[in-house]
Structure 1
Amino acid sequence: MNLEQLEYIVEVAKTGSLTKASQNKHVTLSAISQSLSSLEAELGVTLFTRSRLGAVPTPEGRIIIKKAFEVLMKIQEIQEEAQNYTNTLSGELRLATIPGPMNLLVNAISSFKKDYPHIRTEIAEKGTQEILEDIRRDKIDIGLIIMYESLIKKSAGLGLAFEQLLEGKMVVGVSKSSPLAFQDSVTPEELRRHSFVLYNDEYVRWFVEDFAAKYGPVDILFTTNNTDAIRNAVRENMAVTIGLDYSFIHEPYLQNIDLVTLDLEVPGQQPIYLGWVRSEERHFSRISASFTNRLQYALKHKSPSLLP
């Protein structure tokens, strides 16, 4: 028995598939299959029932897989404890964020890197569902997303842990040359007279669909993950956009007053938050914990070294 075999059976249990486990672990399907068969032969126990539909742990397998997961967690703790004696935190930190908070994350990483120069950091800009899937597949450690009640309910049982950072609200972004720019807020009736350009995110889509169901159909010019295309369309007064207020506050292009944000007069909006998500099925590394603690502290105290 070796650690690689334990990693493989845990991954197969998580994904329910030898094929997906091989993809996530970047090894061949035959390597996963042979490793599993070898471990089952050594233990004298069948760990999984295999079929065309996937791999399901047997009753005995569930017990052994749980212990394998605990062993892997303890090994990570030992590795981190050893780093304490060298007084050097090293490793990697893999992050992803929805577009709005990218500037905040970059500033936080810059400060973090000064104190921990041996940590390799990767950061990507993605949509909420892609971030959640990447966390489940162990492609990233922490994701920064828009959190809301229905998303958390829908994610129940998927092995994800959520934590709130900032409460926010949905606002409307308009060109400074738009007639709406001279107002502090906009009503649903006023908003429906304009075309929309939207970021392709689950919550934004849900919000606009709910808005249309309540107040009537809206004209969506386009939906995209390209934030430059959205801001250009709004800046040229071709359309308006809707998004989390925090996304606008920390976007550098607003410093040139190209866009103006307005409150949306929609009663009964459900609370939404900027928050972070991680896997609760994997060990929360000391690196990830240190970074999230720093990010939370910066937001709470509005530290000028971390906030743009």
Structure 2
Amino acid sequence: MNIEQLEHVAEVARAGALTKAAEHLHVSASAVSQSISKLEQELGVQIFTRNRQGTVLTADGKNIMKKVDNVLAAIGELKEEANRCTDTLGGELKIGIIPGPINLLIDMVSAYKSDYPNVKVEIHEMGPVKIIEGVENNELDIGLILTSETFGVQHHELVAEELMEGRMVAGVHEHSPLAAFDQLSPQQLIGETFVLYNDDYIKQFAHDTLSPYGPIDILFTTNNTEAIKRAVQSGVAVTLGMDYSFRTRAPYTNQPIIPVEIEGAGSEPLHLAWIRRKDKVPSRRVKEFVKRVRREL
């Protein structure tokens, strides 16, 4: 029995299929299959049932999986303790983040790198579904996404810890007549042309908030945040997003987009939260980064 075999068992249990697990582990499906078969032979227990629908844990396999999770978590803690003993921090920190809040992290990442120059930080800006998949598949260490009361039910393998509360606002050009208002009604917004980030929550919010007052004029939806900024800053459209997405700090301020509250927006509280796998002990790299984010936000 070795650590690699335990990692293979854990990944197949999560993925539900040998081929999918092999892709996440960057090895061949046959190598994963042989690894698990040898472990089953050594233990004298069948861990998985293999069929056309996928690879499913047996009753014995479910009990073994609990022990496997505990062992892998203990190994993670051991590695972190070794890092503390040598007082060095290195390796990679891979973060997935929804578009918008990344402008809040620039100074934090810079300070983090000053303290821990041996850590290679990768920030991947993507939609929430991709971030969740990345964390679940161990391709990302942590993710920063919007969460709500329903998150825990839908993604029971993940833990979400709130960092800050936010609300949906309209983003308008600084010289737009709408920028003079402290709050905009859906009736005022329905006559505007919109550019929206291609995100299910934003699109659903636009539909629920505005469609009762008439058809929504959407110029385009895109995952390119720069295209959205240019459209708003040129005055041809209005956008929707979380309030902190429009915060800017000197010296980065350049033709800012003005956030304006929307009357009656958001019945369910939304939070920017960091997510991680429930069965994975956060590394010291993650803990130090999140500690800094909490302090700054």
The TM-score with structure 1 as length reference comes to 0.91
Contact 1:167 1:273 in 2 (8 A): yes
Query: What per-residue deviation string (whole Å, max 9, x for no partner) do you get for residues 127-162 of structure 1?
Result: 11111111111110111112223344433x2x1111
The equivalent residue for 1:292 is 290
Contact 1:96 1:144 in 2 (8 A): yes
Give 1:147's aligned amino acid. Answer: T
Give 2:210's aligned amino acid. Answer: A
The equivalent residue for 1:304 is none
Instruction: Select which of 217, 223, 227 maps to 1:225.
Output: 223
Instruction: Select which of 144, 154, 175 maps to 1:177.
Output: 175
Give 1:231's aligned amino acid. Answer: K
Query: What per-residue deviation string (whole Å, max 9, x for no partner) do you get for residues 262-299 of structure 1?
Result: 11112663211122111112121122112111110121
**Cα 1:216/1:152, change in 2 over 3 Å:** farther
**Cα 1:73/1:151, change in 2 over 3 Å:** closer
Deviation at residue 170 of structure 1 after TM alignment: 1.1
The answer for unaligned runs of 5 or more in structure 1 is 300-308
The equivalent residue for 2:184 is 186
Pair 1:106-2:106 in alignment: yes
Q: Which secondary structure state, in structure 1, belongs to the residue aligned with residue 121 of structure 2?
A: strand
Distance 1:184 1:67 in 2: 56
The TM-score with structure 2 as length reference comes to 0.94
The answer for unaligned runs of 5 or more in structure 2 is none
The equivalent residue for 2:23 is 23
The equivalent residue for 1:306 is none
Map 1:209-248 → 2, pairs under 5 A:
209-248=207-246
The equivalent residue for 2:75 is 75
Distance 1:12 1:238 in 2: 49
Contact 2:10 2:68 in 1 (8 A): yes
Q: Which secondary structure state, in structure 2, belongs to the residue aligned with residue 256 of structure 1?
A: coil
The equivalent residue for 1:203 is 201
Give 1:174's aligned amino acid. Answer: V
Give 1:74's aligned amino acid. Answer: A
Q: Which secondary structure state, in structure 2, belongs to the residue aligned with residue 96 of structure 1?
A: strand
Give 1:209's aligned amino acid. Answer: H
Distance 2:34 2:218 in 1: 52
Distance 2:250 2:215 in 1: 32
Distance 2:177 2:90 in 1: 53
Stretch deviating more after TM superposition (208-217 or 165-174): 208-217
User: RMSD value over aligned CA atoms?
Assistant: 1.8
Distance 1:298 1:32 in 2: 43
Stretch deviating more after TM superposition (275-284 or 214-223): 214-223
Q: Which secondary structure state, in structure 1, belongs to the residue aligned with residue 171 of structure 2?
A: strand
**Cα 1:11/1:267, change in 2 over 3 Å:** closer
Distance 1:177 1:294 in 2: 36
Aligned-pair identity (%): 46
Stretch deviating more after TM superposition (256-265 or 10-19): 256-265
Give 1:291's aligned amino acid. Answer: F
Deviation at residue 36 of structure 1 after TM alignment: 1.2
